[in-house]
Structure 1
Amino acid sequence: MTQPSSGHKAGAFDIRIFISMLIGLYGVVLVATGLVGTSDDELARADGVNINLWAGLGMIVFAACFLAWARLRPVVVPDDEQRSEGDETP
């Protein structure tokens, strides 16, 4: 008697991976802009806060949390056999 398999993980096709990569990339660009391209005039307009740096760091942390969520709770895609057994629609 064989036990039915539980399916396979979505892996790289999980949408959370794409979202975390995109937000992480934007975060890295903002951190680089905040570290290199911020002038004193821009800091004065933002009340002394390097907004690019802080927003970029926040986006990197968010992307890391999203990636951890995707790794810790992966989406399981049912196998074809399980899909056909559980489907009631024609």
Structure 2
Amino acid sequence: MADTHKAGAFDIRNVIGMLLAVYGVILLLMGVFADPELEKTGGVNANLWAGLALLVVGGGFVAWSRLKPIYVPEDVAEVHDDPTRPGPKKQKRPKA
């Protein structure tokens, strides 16, 4: 695959994984350092477990993008039959 490169940071799986991981760290820290309010959640530290789950899922997304990267071709053939692209501008005819 000499004429392709990886999507890298522009891969949406990296963006989603990092966002979930950031929220996971915030919730994990809230679960460890804040008042867990166990009476509201039935004896479960919800922030702690939700933070751990988000870290696992976010790590899964990042691992998925590393193990199965998306390859972007360098050259893309010009499309002539795409109805969403505007047609060429019409030239005005000279008056005779």
TM band (smaller chain): 0.7 to 0.9
> What is the aligned-residue identity percentage?
47
Gaps of 5+ in 1: none
- 1:13-48 deviations in whole A, cap 9, x for unaligned? 111111111100000000000001124xx1111111
How far is 1:5 from its partner? 2.9
Runs of 4+ in 1 over 6 A off after TM superposition: none
Which one has a bigger Cα radius of gyration? Answer: 2
In the alignment, which residue of structure 2 is the partner of 1:52? 47
Gaps of 5+ in 2: 81-96
- 1:44-68 deviations in whole A, cap 9, x for unaligned? 1111100000000000000111111
Structure with higher helix content: 1
Taking structure 2 as the reference length, the TM-score comes to 0.77
Q: Name the SS for the 2:2 alignment partner.
A: coil
1:30 maps onto 2:43 in alignment: no
Q: Distance in 2 between matches of 1:18 and 1:45?
A: 33
Taking structure 1 as the reference length, the TM-score comes to 0.82
**Root mean square deviation of aligned Cα:** 1.4
In the alignment, which residue of structure 2 is the partner of 1:20? 17
In the alignment, which residue of structure 1 is the partner of 2:60? 65
Letter in 1 for 2:43: G
Q: How many corresponding residue pairs?
A: 80
